[in-house]
Amino acid sequence: MIEYSHTPSIPEVATKQTIKQPVQETIATKKSHSILDSLVFLIKYLTTTAAIFAVLMLTTNYQAYYQIAKSYVYADQIAASEQGLINSVQAAS
């Protein structure tokens, strides 16, 4: 029986090497896409969480924020009423 051994030609070897190269590139590309996708998800998650938290804090505690804003806007009226209270206490004693 005669055995034939097949020695690959140069184009066959080059083809096999070029097939391996894109596979390695796609693995690296998938890893970078995976990291990028994870980062995008994390940013979206944190943004959504912060927005929900802000809306809930503002809606449930709006009266306190309104009073703080009002004290800055009507500072002169508050000072006048404070002085009036001080005068009435001094007059009573």
Measured in Å, how far apart are the chain's first and last C-alpha atoms?
130
- CA–CA separation, 65 vs 4, rounded Å? 90
Asked, for residue 76, whether it belongs to a domain, the answer is yes
- Within this chain, do residues 25 and 47 fall inside the same structural domain, yes or no? yes
Asked, for residue 6, whether it belongs to a domain, the answer is no
Q: What is the pLDDT of residue 21?
A: 57
Asked, for residue 5, whether it belongs to a domain, the answer is no
Give the number of domains in the chain. 2
Asked, for residue 77, whether it belongs to a domain, the answer is yes
- Within this chain, do residues 65 and 93 fall inside the same structural domain, yes or no? yes
Q: Which domain holds residue 33?
A: 21-52
pTM equals: 0.44
Asked, for residue 43, whether it belongs to a domain, the answer is yes
Report pLDDT digits (tens) over 8-54. 565 555 555 555 555 566 766 777 778 888 999 999 999 999 999 99
**Per-state percent for the chain, helix, strand, coil, to nearest 5:** 85, 0, 15
